[in-house]
Structure 1
Amino acid sequence: MPPENSDSPAELLQVRWLQVISSTDTNKLTAGKKYKIGFNVALTSDAFGWGPDSNILVMAKIGDQRPIKKVNLLEGDRQRNVRFDIPANLCIEAPPDASSSQEQLLFQLIGIRGGWKGGLKIYHAFITEVKQ
């Protein structure tokens, strides 16, 4: 793990099970607005184990809403050592009572399939309002 108060990423050197959990109070969200949720990551030049059999899941949860996206880190023409956001479009809507709610918006990055993997840098999680 990087030192506290650092902009350095957490780097996975070699893992079999990956689970990153983040949350925020829904009272920090605007009621009825949609929010995009995800993680900013990069693959190192020597990354391994991230093939189609080891997709990552990104999921969110507020109340009964539980959107989930499957992500193949190697799809498309992603370059190594270049940061990108995952997933492309995971959105969730703040509840009508968000400002007074005691609920949490919980979101996770999970990678449990496909054996050993490494060379993933996780820079940060994000929640951004979707402009309509």
Structure 2
Amino acid sequence: MKKIVLLSMFILLVFVGCNDTDKTAQNIENIKLPNGYSYKAINNRGVAVEGQLGIYQIKVFSNYEETVNPQSRHHSIVVTMDDKNSEEIPLQLSYIDKTVVVAVYKDAQLVGQSDIITINEDEPLTIVNVTLND
């Protein structure tokens, strides 16, 4: 009986606990990706960089899979839509000189995205303008 329970727990761990699909946004159901950008940008804790502006969810994507650096400082992104600003969204500083795209979702549907943005080391804050398509 113990062997069956242990085997069941092992199988559950393999199929659920070790599932690594959260690293990229390609595997998220019902969400369309910005073209060419499939990796969620992260902060220095390895948490996906996201924000909120009213009813809209803001996500930041990169074409580069970054590794977590707990000692990294942050670069901030502020998203502007319809003359309103999001809170500062912290992005791991290792994205300097790399490109990101800000995507805006409403009810899990992509309703707007930014141009491709290069994170500049000389600027501690990047303001991103997004025009909504909804």
Settle same-fold status: TM greater than 0.5. no
Which has more strand, going by share of residues?
Answer: 1
TM-score normalised over the length of structure 1: 0.29
Which has more helix, going by share of residues?
Answer: 2
TM-score normalised over the length of structure 2: 0.29
Larger radius of gyration: 2
